[in-house]
Amino acid sequence: MQALICSMHHDTWTSYPVVFLPKAMEYLSFEGRVNLRNPKHIFCLLEDYGTDPNNIPDEPLYIYFGRWIADGQRELIRSHSVKNRHFIGNTSMDAGLSFIMANHARVKAYDLVYDPFVGTGSLLVACSHFGAYVCGTDIDYNTIHGIGKASRKNQKWRGPDENIRANLRQYGSEKLYVDVLVSDASKPIWRDGVLFDAIITDPPYGIRESTRRTGSQKDSVNSVKSSEDYVGDSHVPVSMAYHLSDIFTDLLNFSAHHLVIGGRLVYWLPIYRPEYCEEMVPLNACLRLVSNCEQTLSSHTSRRLITMEKIKEPEETDALAHLSDPHFSPYQGHNAFREKYFSGISKRTLTGKEETNKMATNGGE
């Protein structure tokens, strides 16, 4: 067996040959000589020094030894950077996070992937790279079609290429673009039945984008009119608040009805860190929680990347289970995320001002 043994550091992910005495590797039962020029197998040492760049230990925390299986695709983060893309809006998902979400959803060629809060379409770009057909909906007509006033500084109107289709065209995947539709996520337009292999989305949190739905001023808190109530040429829908608890409930219910068995839902859940507990993660009887990862945003806020997999089709008994089991009840605490987010910013601002005033006072003494 011809092999190359390499050592890698977790920060650089680069490999270089390491000289080993033949007798030192006898316990591996390898036969043949080491061939550094044309190896059939590559074995690597991976040294893990932790994740804190400001506190690197003298010795690695863990050392891993194994066979090199395949290269990663970290170059995609650079090639698909939002900075190099036709600009649509300032809420575009980072390319690295978009590809992570696509990986969590196990997106592959010929899948049909849907984003119900498509926005500027960054998630569609990532999924189309893996050969999936992509589509989405959003309530904001101007954003998804790339028209109207621009978000870019010193630019009044959006250009002809500042739209989702043009972004996919830029990466050679326009043929995988199904379409984007103007639609309200609280009132799905799709026919009954399974449609999608994956649903990947980043719902609005009410910080940089508003959480809105269509409705009527006559709508009460506990009732929402059906779409038949709005039929007529003279009706103009009114924009209303769309609470985060309702967004996640609707998203999980929609996924339970429209995902294929084994299909995955991947979405971001904003969290106020001092109050976080696992009970805050929405559940559905048809969806199994696969993973729950945290991305820290500030000292008091973060968002959790939630991955769920459909394990069964909805049944009539599921609705009763949701009513009787508190684990399936919407967590109302999500609705105050915006207030808590800005409350934390205000506290930090006030603290900073107090320290400044204190320093000025001490200096005056």
Q: What percent of the chain lies above the pLDDT cut of 90?
A: 38
CA-closest candidate to residue 305, choices 82, 153, 43, 104: 104
Q: Given pLDDT bands bounded at 50, 70 and 90, which one contains residue 221? A: very low
Per-residue pLDDT at 114: 98
Cα atoms in the Cβ-side hemisphere of radius 13 Å centred on 329: 7
Q: Is the pLDDT of residue 331 over 90?
A: no
In this prediction, residue 3 carries a pLDDT of 45
Binning pLDDT at 50, 70 and 90, where does residue 222 land?
very low
pLDDT in tens, 121-158: 999 999 999 999 999 999 888 877 777 776 666 667 67
Q: How confident is the model at residue 262 (pLDDT cuts 50, 70, 90)?
A: very high
185, pLDDT greater than 90: no
Phi-psi region of 148 (alpha: psi -120 to 50; beta: other; left: phi over 0): left
- What is the pLDDT at residue 294? 94
Please check the confidence at residue 296 and state whether its pLDDT lies above 60: yes
Mean of the pLDDT values across residues 309-326? 75
| Confidence bin at 85 (pLDDT 50/70/90) | confident
More confident residue, 242 or 189: 189
What confidence score (pLDDT) does residue 254 get?
95
Q: Is the pLDDT of residue 312 over 90?
A: yes
Query: Which among 4-18, 54-68, 100-114 has the top mean pLDDT?
Result: 100-114
Q: Which residue has the tokens 């069964």?
A: 312
Rounded-to-integer distance, Cα 144 and Cα 163, Å: 7
Q: Which residue has the higher pLDDT, 35 or 20?
A: 35
Q: Is the pLDDT of residue 103 over 60?
A: yes
Q: State which amino acid sits at residue 137.
A: T
| Exposed / middle / buried, residue 346 (Cβ in 10 Å: 0-12, 13-18, 19+) | exposed
Give the integer Cα–Cα distance in Å for 21 and 63: 19
Phi, psi of 175 (to 5 degrees): -65, -20
Number of H helices, E strands in the chain: 8, 13
Q: Which residues pair with 264 in a beta bridge?
A: 198, 309
Mean pLDDT of 238-250: 82
Mean pLDDT within 280-290: 94
Amino acid found at 209: E
Q: For residue 93, give the 3-state DSSP assignment.
A: coil
C-alpha count within 13 angstroms, C-beta hemisphere, residue 21: 2
Start-to-end CA distance of the chain, whole Å, equals: 78
CB 123 within 8 A of CB 104: no
**Reported confidence tier of residue 198, pLDDT bands at 50, 70, 90:** very high
pLDDT value for 15: 44
Mean per-residue pLDDT over the chain, rounded: 79
pLDDT confidence of 339, banded at 50, 70, 90? confident
